[in-house]
Structure 1
Amino acid sequence: METAPEPALEPAEERALERAGAVLAAEAARFAALGWMRGTSGNLSVVVGRSPLRLAVTASGLDKGELTASDAVLVDGDGAAVSGGRPSAEAALHARVVRLTGAGAVVHVHTVAAVAVAERRPAGIVFRDLEMLKGLGHPAHDEDVTLPVIANSQDMAALGDRLEAVRDPRMPAVVVAGHGLYVWGADARQARHHTEVVQWLLELELARR
């Protein structure tokens, strides 16, 4: 039995997806160069529509340092593909983060520091009295800021429930134990900046211990 072809995107949707794909390719190349998206690991997304919710997500199984503008898949508010290609298996979690936080972009990278520190701080990682906290919108002194840690799962609905249960609106990130780091922001640029700041904090924590 033949399957029905996917519906074609409207021209405006095609253009939006291509623009988003170019952004995702550029951001992925940055993270890959830092060694945070080794091999085909990690995934990125940006919101391209809110009503209904639509995200452009990096396609599954591709080297993140070699993506092009065409290597993005359009998904709906549940992370299911709307048109073209196979999205990351974690697209559903990206969509969940966007629905929970109102973010415009989500970054998922696999860094050694995130996994190593989460092993030592499974209840969450507390930061205080650091200038870099300003990069997350916090004062540099006299305030505790916690980066939550959640247990890993291959079930994106379960993982999303865990993220929702521990999410602190003051911290645009969460560590998935034994897996990596999820970070979000208003757009791809802010999500990248937040990722760089959180990774710096994790590397400092790792160096201290």
Structure 2
Amino acid sequence: MNDTARAGGDGAVTSESVLSAGAALATESARFAARGWMPGTAGNLSMTLARNPLRLAVTASGLDKGELSATDVVVVDGVGDWVAEAGLPFRQPSAEAGLHARIAAVTGAGAVIHVHALAAVRAGYQWPHGVELHDLEMLKGIGHSAHHERVTIPVVRNHQDMAILGDDFDRVYLPATESTAEVPALIVADHGIYAWGRDLRQARWHLELTEALLQIALATRA
């Protein structure tokens, strides 16, 4: 894969880097659709192509997420709007591209995944102020101690305005310090979950592990 598409560098966005990202996003999208996490046209994925200025490759709007191709991708800017990059024609980006861009800008993520996994939807409904997790082995997979930390998966209320959702994300996202633990996931109540990582593979791991942790929390708590 092109280094710019993989790592989110500051190089020029080219048609080759966009198509490379599109192929990777299509592969992951098919994986999540097969798990029932992206039914029909639901959900979206992105990869950071460049940081200065911020450019993301985001899955195009209104397409079956189990049938994407490398060309079913759009380049957006730091607020999620389509930009004319690499001579590519206009396509409608996902309506949630703005939140992808905000997450990539704030966290430095190389990839962001948004799906409608059931445990995340249920957990956001049951614990609207955040899902506290502790003493679970899989916490190590999202960067935390299994036995010495209490980790909270943040929850925000759903909203159709991505700028408002982005502001809510800024409010609940706390970079790691001595007293707060960074978590690479965000639950949007009654809607779904976003997860991110330095690249698409790590974002997938963070998503799968967080969903499994939420399944455990739902199964073991009254």
Taking structure 2 as the reference length, what is the TM-score of the superposition?
A: 0.87
After superposition, what is the alpha-carbon deviation per residue over 1:41-77, rounded to whole angstroms, capped at 9, x for unaligned?
A: 0000001111211100000000111000000001111
Alpha-carbon distance in structure 1 between the residues aligned to 2:166 and 2:209: 23
Flag the 1:15–1:98 CA change in 2: closer, same or farther, 3 A.
same
The letter for the 2-side match of 1:67 is L
After superposition, what is the alpha-carbon deviation per residue over 1:78-127, rounded to whole angstroms, capped at 9, x for unaligned?
A: 11111431110000110011111111110000111111111111111011
Alpha-carbon distance in structure 1 between the residues aligned to 2:24 and 2:52: 21
Task: Tell me, yes or no, if structure 1 residue 58 matches structure 2 residue 59.
Answer: yes
Flag the 1:131–1:81 CA change in 2: closer, same or farther, 3 A.
same
Q: Report the alpha carbon displacement of residue 19 of structure 1 after superposing the two structures with TM.
A: 0.3
Task: Tell me, yes or no, if structure 1 residue 123 matches structure 2 residue 129.
Answer: yes
The letter for the 1-side match of 2:126 is R
Task: Tell me, yes or no, if structure 1 residue 204 matches structure 2 residue 205.
Answer: no
Q: Report the alpha carbon displacement of residue 12 of structure 1 after superposing the two structures with TM.
A: 5.8
The count of residues paired between Structure 1 and Structure 2 equals 199
Q: Report the alpha carbon displacement of residue 207 of structure 1 after superposing the two structures with TM.
A: 1.6
Task: Tell me, yes or no, if structure 1 residue 178 matches structure 2 residue 190.
Answer: yes
Q: Report the alpha carbon displacement of residue 137 of structure 1 after superposing the two structures with TM.
A: 1.1
After superposition, what is the alpha-carbon deviation per residue over 1:131-178, rounded to whole angstroms, capped at 9, x for unaligned?
A: 100101111102100001101100100000111101133101110001
**Consecutive unaligned residues in structure 2, runs of 5 or more:** 1-11, 85-89, 176-181
Map 1:47-196; keep pairs closer than 5 Å. 47-83=48-84, 84-169=90-175, 170-196=182-208
Alpha-carbon distance in structure 1 between the residues aligned to 2:220 and 2:13: 50
After superposition, what is the alpha-carbon deviation per residue over 1:22-49, rounded to whole angstroms, capped at 9, x for unaligned?
A: 0100010111111110110000000111
Alpha-carbon distance in structure 2 between the residues aligned to 1:66 and 1:40: 10
* Identity level (%): 58
Flag the 1:183–1:142 CA change in 2: closer, same or farther, 3 A.
same
Alpha-carbon distance in structure 1 between the residues aligned to 2:43 and 2:174: 23
Alpha-carbon distance in structure 2 between the residues aligned to 1:12 and 1:80: 16
Do the aligned residues in 1 keep the contact of 2:13 with 2:50 (CA within 8 Å)? Answer: no
The letter for the 2-side match of 1:50 is R
